[in-house]
């Protein structure tokens, strides 16, 4: 499992929360929230670096591949480096925040072991949250795969046309066009019209079909040519909608 969250806002929200909590914790014992905020901001790069190195390098590269010896060794080295950097932050705090008056530092800020515990507590909390998020994302991927498998159990599209159920093989469909409350399905043999909205039909189709315009869904296996704003399926050129260009590009890239 590769620990990765695709949503940057999740990371931003988490670290804003960390800054607020640590500022309140150190500020309450220091009696100066402003100085505590600066202190936390100086600590934050160390916490960020340690957290992301641990979660995105050590865990996937060594722990998840069962190389536990190297994982333990590099985790120990990471702890030593991060503690060394914490000491540098303490020196800067001693010089710039309290004007070389060690007694004015928060009792919490002067306890290196406590700072180390706080740092790695944040690292492990972040790791746990990332794991939980990854589990949710993996479940969603699995559900999507199951849904796709369910769609592909049938090799044809069932749709009402002229008060009868028409079974259209997926391979025969070239593209589907929306006509307001109706759709027109263009196949290799003929055209079939059904009273259904294209948005409803799109959710029933397997992944070989791609919506390129609010009025068009194409069979990607029949793409002959593609440009910035147009796709040719078989010999039919179709316009790519402005709001669909990014999705089309990403789909075809994969």
Alpha-carbon span 71 to 73, nearest angstrom = 6
Work out the average pLDDT over 25-49: 76
Q: pLDDT over 70 for what percent of the chain?
A: 74
Using the predicted structure, report yes or no on whether residue 32 has a pLDDT greater than 90.
Answer: no
pLDDT at 145: 67
3-state helix, strand, coil in the chain (%, to 5): 60, 20, 20
Domains along the chain with CATH numbers? 8-151 (no CATH), 156-253 (2.40.50.1020)
* Spatial separation of the C-alpha atoms in residues 176 and 197, rounded to whole Å: 11
The answer to which of 64-68, 213-217, 229-233, 239-243 has the lowest mean pLDDT is 64-68
Q: Has residue 3 got a pLDDT over 50? A: no
Closest CA to 154 of 204, 195, 190, 194: 204
Band of residue 29 on the pLDDT scale cut at 50, 70, 90: low
Token output for 239: 């316009």
CA angle 254, 64, 14 (to 5 degrees): 75
- The values of phi and psi at residue 201, to 5°, are -70, -35
Confidence label for 126 from pLDDT (cuts 50, 70 and 90): low
Render pLDDT for 155-205 as a digit per residue (tens, 0 to 9): 788 888 888 888 888 889 999 999 878 899 999 988 999 988 888 888 888
pLDDT at 74 over 80: yes
- The DSSP symbol for 241 reads P
Residue 28 pLDDT more than 80? no
Provide the whole-model pTM: 0.44
Report the pLDDT value the prediction gives residue 174, as an integer from 0 to 100. Answer: 93
């Amino acid at each position: 499992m590769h620990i990765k969250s695709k949503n940057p806002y999740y990371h931003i929200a988490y670290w804003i929360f960390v800054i607020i909590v640590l500022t309140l914790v150190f500020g309450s014992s220091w009696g100066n929230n402003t100085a505590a905020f600066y202190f936390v901001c100086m600590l934050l790069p160390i916490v960020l670096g340690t957290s992301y190195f641990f979660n995105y390098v050590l865990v996937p590269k060594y722990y998840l591949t069962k190389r536990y010896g190297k994982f333990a060794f590099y985790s120990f080295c990471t702890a030593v480096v991060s503690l060394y950097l914490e000491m540098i932050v303490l020196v800067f705090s001693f010089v710039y925040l309290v004007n070389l008056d060690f007694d004015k530092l928060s009792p919490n800020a002067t306890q290196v072991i406590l700072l180390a515990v706080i740092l790695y507590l944040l690292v492990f909390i972040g790791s746990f949250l990332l794991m939980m998020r990854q589990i949710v994302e993996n479940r969603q991927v699995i559900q999507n795969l199951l849904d796709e498998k369910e769609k592909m159990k049938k090799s044809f599209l069932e749709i009402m046309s002229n008060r009868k159920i028409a079974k259209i093989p997926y391979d025969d469909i070239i593209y589907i066009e929306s006509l307001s409350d109706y759709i027109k399905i263009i196949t290799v043999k003929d055209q079939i019209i059904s009273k259904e909205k294209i948005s409803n039909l799109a959710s029933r189709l397997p992944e070989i079909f791609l919506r390129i315009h609010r009025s068009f869904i194409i069979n990607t296996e029949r793409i002959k040519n593609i440009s910035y704003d147009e796709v040719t399926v078989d010999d039919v050129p179709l316009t790519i909608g402005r709001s669909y260009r990014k999705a089309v590009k990403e789909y075809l890239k994969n």
